Structure 1
């Protein structure tokens, strides 16, 4: 009986750890102007979304952005192996939305935005 209870607790804990894996705030890679953003991931109806919560200039000073509070990443499916797909990523500077996929390795998130077969990948780092 203890073995079944242990297995059930471990399964629940593993599921919670995986759900928490993408949760939190990630710092984006600098854009062409040298600005970085802080993107907070959260559950959005069984999928994952990431909204811009803060922005900084290349000197590290916080700056205002019209994109603050808006989703940068939307409707990502958790594939169960630290990879996410099926969602989109929005580039507020160009006001364009791309198909996206992400892979989490430790505190590093590889984020790709694609149009047809052309993709651009950025490395985001966990801030919190």
Structure 2
């Protein structure tokens, strides 16, 4: 009888400790959604973020400045075969997944033809877009369009 009480107390103690540990485990909230239209920092275009599979992608939706005749092209792309593709509609962010309070994935900037690691964080109607190549990073602030 005494042995069963000891086991019962230990089981109760372990269940209380287990419940406390679960209650103390950090809850990771998903970052604010970045889906929708965003005006880039220099005001030249709108980028739209949308679901693509389990991730988020972003493409150039429209230009707010006049395009050259025939449309703006990806002239600075390091891949020569891609230099004639149109920028309007071009996917420039992909594989963006939630990581803490931001969205991390990959990006491309046609301005200088660079691929980068992307980290995007939304705060209200502002979107902080951080791009890093090796140890060099640059952060821009976009606004909700």
Q: Distance in 2 between matches of 1:39 and 1:107?
A: 14
Q: Distance in 2 between matches of 1:93 and 1:123?
A: 16
The structure 1 segments of at least 4 consecutive aligned residues displaced by more than 6 Å after TM superposition are none
Aligned CA-pair RMSD: 2.1
CA offsets 1:21-69 (integer angstroms, 9 cap, x no match): 2111000011xxxx62100100111111110011123xxxx43432111
Q: Distance in 2 between matches of 1:52 and 1:36?
A: 11
Q: SS of 1:53's equivalent?
A: strand
Query: Runs of 5+ in structure 2 lacking a partner?
Result: 1-28, 73-85
Q: Does residue 1:28 correspond to 2:40, yes or no?
A: yes
Q: Does residue 1:69 correspond to 2:89, yes or no?
A: yes
Q: Distance in 2 between matches of 1:73 and 1:126?
A: 17
Q: Distance in 1 between matches of 2:57 and 2:133?
A: 20
Superposition TM-score, scaled by structure 1 size: 0.70
* Match of residue 144 from structure 2: 126
For residue 105 of structure 1, the aligned residue among 100, 123, 132 is: 123
Higher strand share: 1
Larger radius of gyration: 2
